[in-house]
Amino acid sequence: MGYILSSDGFAKFMEMLSGCEGSLDLLEGQIGDALAHVKDELHLGKAAMIMEVHPNAFQLRGRSISHDFYTSEKGYATEAIKESYITGNKGVFNMFFHPEIGYVWNEDEKKAVRTLSNAIYISMRRVRLKELVERAMLTDSMTMVSNAMGMKRFVTQIMEKNNHSAYNCAFMNIKNFRYYNQKVGSTQGDELLKVYATKINDFLLPDENITRMGGDNFIVYVKKERVGAFFERMKKINVQLWVDNHPISLDVETRIGMHDIAPGDTMDDVLNCAAIALAYARQQNARNVVWFEKKMRDLDLQAQTVSVAFPKALANGELIVYYQPKVCLEDNSLCGCEALVRWVREGVIVPPMDFIPALEREGTVCDLDMYVFETVCKDIRRWLDCGMNPVRVSVNFSKLHFKDDRFADHILDIIHRHGVPSNYIEIELTEASGFESFDNFERFSRIMRENKIEVSIDDFGTGYSSLNILKRLNVDVIKLDKSFIDTIENEDTQDEVFIKNIVNMINELGMRVVAEGVETNNQVEFLKKIHCSAVQGYFYDRPMPRERYEERLLEKRIY
């Protein structure tokens, strides 16, 4: 048989096989070409393969592949040499070689055929391994959808086909994922991500793409004409998990920032726009899908300017605390006040609504709140030390603090550090919206009240408040929003009946009512009549700098 192995044809055959660096598809063609160099001397009639791939991470349903490398025009004998190889993961790779019709291989020739078979098998394993490594580099190892590199590859491909603007891009974040993760544990949290990604992937077409960008953030490229169906699919993704040997079923909702891709958009443009839209979707809790609009970018830039300037302003003492008195309606006495922050920026006093939303978006509002709180504690300590007999001060806190499990500890640390008795402190919170923060809200307010610190719900009537929730909120004070109080002037008796009943109900639930934004005597008289405890508003006092407020403390205790 030596004559075959040493032939030029065999050397060429080996050279062609080992030179192939392309994909498996390319290699299949190349094997056919390589066999052309030995087919005559071996009297080869046909060479073919069948490969069975068992289900694996990349091919969830497994695959069966068959391919004919070469078929002679002269025809081939039915009997064949079959060589079987067991591949990784118990796959099977079978090769079939037939001599030309009418030809019978001798033992030497059979050996030579087996050598060809081994060489083909080795080269196919090598290329397949290379493909798997490349696949792994483009795939998120937890969910098996694309990773950032995979998305880049996908976008490059659709751009090369001039097809980029046939798609819309969705930047997505799972609603309440933090909450689920805490509830079910991180292993089942991972399972949630896997099932979620797989279900979306199953909805997508082969020329669409889903990418996991880390955490619970995903990006989807979906064809424009399928956006409606996509939103419908995304409304709820049902995920079944096992927790403590019990099945639980979750209807997972998603926040989506959408960008309508225009011709000429780069991948970075698209991702930026979709991310900005997602930030808006996050802010407006009520809407899950937000489409990017140009004006959002301007607001975003403005917010970035604020966020960049903020840390320095905080360090430079540009943020100062104003105080607005609260007046008890029973005896017209000064019974409390609210701390309200101001930013003195280049000599101009900037109101909180011009910078707090931006800080909320960046998360830095938490630093601001703690700074205001420290300032308030220092002031109270000083007032006590010089015998000023201060009243309770309420301080506003963003609901972002609920992301920090140690929020309550921080508050207690600060008042202890400054030696402030807790009956001088009230914490104002806007209502917990969504159940993610509800548990934390309840826990926080319980700890505060155990420590004799009062808790109030700010801006009641503007958000999702329902009297039903009120019952469960364990708080001391409800602050009725100005928008309620404004209706008192309308001379519409229905509005007044409405307010009267709300105040009644809150009182009956054992909480006090403070009315905000009271500007007229009429409003004061009405609120007195319906047993509202206290009011805060321009009618009595505007928010004022510390020095002026100290004068109030010293002189005017009765209005």
Task: Write out the residues near ligand C2E by the rule CB under 6 A.
Answer: 324, 340-341, 351-353, 356, 365, 368-369, 372, 396-398, 428, 458-459, 482, 516-519, 536-538, 543
465 binds Mg ion (CB under 5 A): no
CB of 554 to Mg ion, least distance (A): 25
Query: C-alpha angle 324/483/546, rounded to 5°?
Result: 10
Using the minimum distance from each CB to ligand C2E, give the nearer residue, 363 or 434.
363
459 binds Mg ion (CB under 5 A): yes
Using the minimum distance from each CB to ligand C2E, give the nearer residue, 189 or 543.
543
Query: Residue 380 phi/psi, 5° resolution?
Result: -60, -45
Burial class of residue 222 in the structure, from the number of CB atoms within 10 Å of its CB (0-12 exposed, 13-18 middle, 19+ buried): buried
- Residue 426 contacts which entry, ligand C2E, Mg ion, none (Cβ below 5-8 A, type-dependent): none
Query: Residue 453 phi/psi, 5° resolution?
Result: -95, 130
CB of 462 to ligand C2E, least distance (A): 9
445 binds Mg ion (CB under 5 A): no
Residues 6+ apart with CB under 8 A from 481: 459, 460, 461, 462, 516, 517
Using the minimum distance from each CB to Mg ion, give the nearer residue, 390 or 537.
537
Using the minimum distance from each CB to ligand C2E, give the nearer residue, 251 or 547.
547
CB of 554 to ligand C2E, least distance (A): 22
Using the minimum distance from each CB to ligand C2E, give the nearer residue, 252 or 339.
339
- Residue 398 contacts which entry, ligand C2E, Mg ion, none (Cβ below 5-8 A, type-dependent): ligand C2E
Report whether 358 contacts 348 (CB < 8 A).
no
User: How many CB atoms lie under 10 A from the CB of residue 77?
Assistant: 16
Using the minimum distance from each CB to ligand C2E, give the nearer residue, 150 or 352.
352
Stretch that binds Mg ion, among 177-185, 301-309, 362-370, 423-431 (CB under 5 A): 423-431
536 binds Mg ion (CB under 5 A): no
Element (H, E) at 130: helix 107-138
- Residue 99 contacts which entry, Mg ion, ligand C2E, none (Cβ below 5-8 A, type-dependent): none
- How far is Cα 395 from Cα 540, in angstroms, rounded to an integer? 20
431 binds Mg ion (CB under 5 A): no
Buried b (16+ CB within 10 A) or exposed e, 338-367: bbbbbbeeeeeebebeebbbbbbbbebbbe
**Encoding tokens for residue 21?**
């660096």
User: Which one of 396, 422, 523, 536 is in contact with Mg ion (CB under 5 A)?
Assistant: 396
Site for Mg ion in 506-525 (CB under 5 A): 516
Report whether 428 contacts 395 (CB < 8 A).
yes
Indicate the SS3 state at residue 389. Answer: coil
Sites of contact with Mg ion (CB under 5 A): 396, 428, 458-459, 516
